[in-house]
Amino acid sequence: MKKGITALILSFLVASAVFLLGCKNQGGLRAKINKDVVYEYTTDITTCEGLGNIPFSFDINGDRLLIFNRKYEIEEGTDRNIASWTICDLNNPSVAGELSEFHGSEEGKYVYFEDCRFTEDGKIYILEGDVLEDSSVNYYLDVALENGTLESRTPIETDGFFVDKPVILKDGYTAFTVGSSVYIYGPDGKKYDEVKQPEGFDVSDYSGGKIVDCGNSLILVDGKIKENKKREYAIYNRITKTLGPVCETELDIHNAGELTEDTFYICSVEKGFYEMKYGESGEIQTLGYKDSDLPIVTMGLVWDVKRMVLFVPGDEYVYKPMIYTKVNPEEVGEKTVITIGGPSYANMFLRPAVTEFNQKNKEYRIEIIDYYEENDSDFTAAMNAYRMDLLSGQGPDIIISDGYMDITNDLKTGVYEDMTPYMEAAGISSSDFLEQVEDVCCYDGKQYVYFPWFTVKGLCMTKPEFVNANQTLTIKEEVEFEKKYGIVGQGAMDCDRNELIMNSVLCSYRDYYNPDTGECNFDSDSFKEFLEWVATYPESLNEEQTYYSVQSQRKLFEENKVIYEEAPFKGFRNVYAEDMADFGGNAVIIGMPSKEGNKAGILYTDYILGINAGSSNKEGAFDFIKRFMTDEYYSNAAEFRSGSAFPAKKNKFDELCENMLDLPYVYGNSGELVKGKDYYYDNGNRVEIDPPSAERMEHYKELVLNSHGLVQFDTKMLMIIQEETTPYFAGDKTVDEVARIIQSRAEMYVKER
């Protein structure tokens, strides 16, 4: 149960923010879709319950769509998959098909279903792997009827090896990657060919490589991404048994299939759909590509030349199947382009919402500017590029930032547009949201930003005897307890020096530095005491100092070998499960130890949305943002149903609290949300727990409502602390020397700003 925030933050140590006034955005072009091939959203496909959220495989036969998944049936000493599928009628997509299940053979100790697709006559091919007692594997090509009845089972004459994600190809052929070779087997189970991968290739799934079935050809895609950001591939002709030359592509090829005898399509996860043909030199050539209204992250396949099925990630982490139809690009109307972007990975959270908006909005189309991805996941470079775009007037219409970015000065200096008039026109008020959310999103009585979800950081769980009369725990008291019980440098569970510094900077930010006034107190006695406490902890934890077992953690508290552990307030369910596991539901939850002690925590959110004050498309930008303010959005969101985060709206927060007193939604064997008892794991054993009492729930609720502010920190200030404390921890400087140096550098930095 290793917790902590260090890993979440280390990649975000960046230069200090630049304070900018809003600049005129030159975006907002009304553009004709300039694509060779355009597909437009037509309708959703209804699937049956119990199938699971993410399809493991899929195929099309005529007008029938096969969606295949697998769930787990775990018994003592065994791990058996159950294959499950449904078949949808693409001419009647609103009617769900029946759920079928297939259990496979009984000979394997472990049974895995690797792939599934249609036979030519509409039955079901299933690729099954049975792991025997001696760890060898028997592979079978099963043929089943639509209802799951086994019709035939053909052994595949492998040598008992276990392979990485074998696949079913056209006409019942199968492909297995073993070492540097790809083995092709016929539908009779006998070896058809051995394809030697080009030198240096690795097409295994573990490496990120792919074997892509393209009818009578296979595209072997190497897993490595080269310095020029391209991948290498080679095309194998299954008829002539020949392998073409090594070529390069920028596409992340996910799957492919035949369109006509001479053309085929490729689904690229990040780029979309491409229609291709074979080049004379063995390469693939682009004939056309998809319109940007299609999903950015997707799985899919072409139904026929004019229609395709896409599996689009939705709000509930469910990949929803949808039908898109090819249209004449000249007949597609114009849309105003709205851009959304920011310097962090937060873009990923909004991609499903962008997809849905683009599908159904006839006036606007959103395009994502991914500064983080475009700058090789370097946050400093992404921040610089983002700020330069704002200065030049090319910044995104909708600004998205993650919860660690300090947006305070941007709120004050005109970077964000006041959303209050747009909210009032839509019948939305800032008072609809929780008070602490309103405090963060508003400045001078106006609302500039919004975030729909949040968690709470800076809370810890402890026993009643470690809490003072003010219901807090100070650093001085923590040190005294550690000395009393002989656990110096161990009282904070699963913490090393860097973890303690991070916790202090994030949750006790203003103890030593006030960003509003610029006042620094790093030469104070309290900061020196803090450093002396941190110095008693290890530089890094070894395996013996990391506690994963519930029993071991509970015993540590019972024997007074730890004082506190971080409370995982990512939602009521998280903290309740931890409370029950380690304290039997009797934990005292307070703020992290600090100079004066904290009673409450601080808010964190994955993403914050706002309108660029220089945007030419403010109404269109708000049209997207307001989606996250509606009751409909919350009711359909997985975070709300599973209780894994706190909603910003008052009425939905109250509803979530009420729901916690009933059986919650938990993820079932197939990944879908179902009603059931909550649980935690103890040494691999699932321990179910009843819903919390009304009294306990009220305690959790008060902790959330009493938490204020947003997790923010000045990364430059953090870097100064980390750099200058290193010689102190190494014994090369005294605590007084280090405190003076940090104070001097901090004051100089504040003046330079």
DSSP string, 172-241: G-EEEEETTEEEEE-TTSSEEEEEEPPTT----GGGT-EEEEETTEEEEE-SPPPTTS-EEEEEEETTTT
Among 310-319, 380-389, 585-594, which is the least confidently predicted range?
Answer: 310-319
- With 50 as the cut, is the pLDDT of residue 749 above it? yes
Q: What integer pLDDT is reported at residue 108 of this predicted model?
A: 64
Mean pLDDT computed over 323-331: 78
- With 60 as the cut, is the pLDDT of residue 581 above it? yes
According to DSSP, the β-strands at 247-249 and 231-237 are: antiparallel
Q: Burial code of 740-752, b = ≥16 C-beta within 10 A, e = fewer? A: ebbbebbeebbee
Mean pLDDT computed over 372-401: 83
Q: What integer pLDDT is reported at residue 284 of this predicted model?
A: 60
Q: What integer pLDDT is reported at residue 311 of this predicted model?
A: 81
Q: What integer pLDDT is reported at residue 27 of this predicted model?
A: 38
Residue with the larger pLDDT of the pair 481 and 688: 481
- Rounded to whole angstroms, the Cα distance separating 135 from 692 reads 44
Phi, psi of 466 (to 5 degrees): -100, 5
- Rounded to whole angstroms, the Cα distance separating 695 from 679 reads 20
Contact yes or no for 83/116 (Cβ under 8 A): yes
- With 60 as the cut, is the pLDDT of residue 295 above it? no
> Among 263, 231, 261, which Cα is nearest to 248's?
231
Each residue's pLDDT tens digit, 496-508: 998 888 887 777 7
HSE-CB of 588 using CA atoms within 13 angstroms? 20
> How many angstroms separate the most distant Cα atoms in the chain?
83
pTM of the model: 0.74
- With 90 as the cut, is the pLDDT of residue 286 above it? no
Provide the 8-state DSSP code for 691: P
- Rounded to whole angstroms, the Cα distance separating 425 from 596 reads 45
Spatial CB neighbours of 491, under 8 Å, sequence gap ≥ 6: 478, 481, 482, 485, 562, 563, 564
- Rounded to whole angstroms, the Cα distance separating 457 from 557 reads 21
Mean pLDDT computed over 333-347: 79
- Rounded to whole angstroms, the Cα distance separating 72 from 58 reads 19
Residue with the larger pLDDT of the pair 2 and 647: 647
Spatial CB neighbours of 322, under 8 Å, sequence gap ≥ 6: 41, 42, 43, 44, 45, 309, 310, 311, 312, 359
- With 90 as the cut, is the pLDDT of residue 361 above it? no
Ranges 126-130, 204-208, 321-325, 671-675, most confident: 126-130
The size of the chain, in residues, is: 753
Is 498 in a helix, a strand, or coil?
Answer: helix
- In order of 38, 259, 302, 446, the CA distances from 306 in angstroms are 10, 10, 8, 49
Dig out the tokens for 537 from the structure: 């902890």
Burial class (CB in 10 A: 0-12, 13-18, 19+), 239: exposed
Q: What integer pLDDT is reported at residue 23 of this predicted model?
A: 34
Each residue's pLDDT tens digit, 143-202: 999 999 999 999 999 887 777 778 899 889 999 988 889 999 999 999 999 999 999 999
- With 80 as the cut, is the pLDDT of residue 721 above it? yes
- Rounded to whole angstroms, the Cα distance separating 720 from 232 reads 43
- In order of 255, 276, 596, the CA distances from 284 in angstroms are 14, 6, 66
- The one-letter amino acid at 311: F
Spatial CB neighbours of 667, under 8 Å, sequence gap ≥ 6: 642, 673, 674
- With 70 as the cut, is the pLDDT of residue 670 above it? no
Mean pLDDT, the chain, rounded, equals 81
Q: What is the residue-wise DSSP string for 389-428?
A: HHHHT---SEEEE-TTS--HHHHHTT-BPP-HHHHHHTT-
Q: What percent of the chain has pLDDT over 70?
A: 82
Q: What is the residue-wise DSSP string for 302-365?
A: EEETTEEEEEEE-TTS-EEEEEEEEE-GGGSPPEEEEEEEESSTTHHHHHHHHHHHHHH-SSEE
Q: What integer pLDDT is reported at residue 5 of this predicted model?
A: 38
Each residue's pLDDT tens digit, 26-75: 333 433 344 566 777 888 898 887 777 778 888 988 899 999 987 766 55
Q: Which helix (H) or strand (E) holds 632?
A: helix 631-636
- Rounded to whole angstroms, the Cα distance separating 696 from 576 reads 9
Contact yes or no for 64/89 (Cβ under 8 A): yes
Q: Burial code of 574-588, b = ≥16 C-beta within 10 A, e = fewer? A: bbbbbbbbbbeeebb
> Among 447, 457, 455, 387, which Cα is nearest to 609's?
447
- With 90 as the cut, is the pLDDT of residue 648 above it? yes
Each residue's pLDDT tens digit, 256-280: 777 776 777 776 655 666 677 766 6
Dig out the tokens for 451 from the structure: 């975030």
According to DSSP, the β-strands at 335-342 and 398-401 are: parallel
What radius of gyration do the chain's Cα atoms show?
29
Q: What integer pLDDT is reported at residue 72 of this predicted model?
A: 63
- With 70 as the cut, is the pLDDT of residue 76 above it? no
Residue with the larger pLDDT of the pair 240 and 554: 240
> Among 122, 108, 213, which Cα is nearest to 169's?
213
Listed in sequence order, the DSSP H helices in 508-617 are 525-535, 550-558, 572-583
Instruction: Find where tokens 């009425």 sit.
Output: 651
Is 730 in a helix, a strand, or coil?
Answer: coil
- In order of 218, 269, 276, the CA distances from 266 in angstroms are 12, 10, 7
Q: What integer pLDDT is reported at residue 78 of this predicted model?
A: 53
Is 39 in a helix, a strand, or coil?
Answer: strand
Q: What integer pLDDT is reported at residue 461 of this predicted model?
A: 92
Among 290-294, 506-510, 530-534, which is the least confidently predicted range?
Answer: 290-294
> Among 110, 64, 124, which Cα is nearest to 89's?
64
Q: What integer pLDDT is reported at residue 19 of this predicted model?
A: 27
- Rounded to whole angstroms, the Cα distance separating 747 from 740 reads 11
Mean pLDDT computed over 233-247: 90
- Rounded to whole angstroms, the Cα distance separating 224 from 252 reads 11
Q: What integer pLDDT is reported at residue 610 of this predicted model?
A: 95
> Among 582, 532, 560, 548, which Cα is nearest to 731's?
532
Residue with the larger pLDDT of the pair 551 and 622: 622
> Among 349, 328, 416, which Cα is nearest to 613's?
416
- Rounded to whole angstroms, the Cα distance separating 343 from 380 reads 8
Provide the 8-state DSSP code for 6: H
Provide the 8-state DSSP code for 445: T
- In order of 452, 628, 642, the CA distances from 433 in angstroms are 9, 12, 20
Q: What percent of the chain has pLDDT over 90?
A: 33
- Rounded to whole angstroms, the Cα distance separating 47 from 315 reads 16
Residue with the larger pLDDT of the pair 402 and 129: 129
Tell me the β-bridge partners of 454: 646
Mean pLDDT computed over 628-655: 85
Provide the 8-state DSSP code for 132: -
Each residue's pLDDT tens digit, 414-464: 899 999 999 999 999 999 999 999 998 999 999 999 999 999 988 899 999
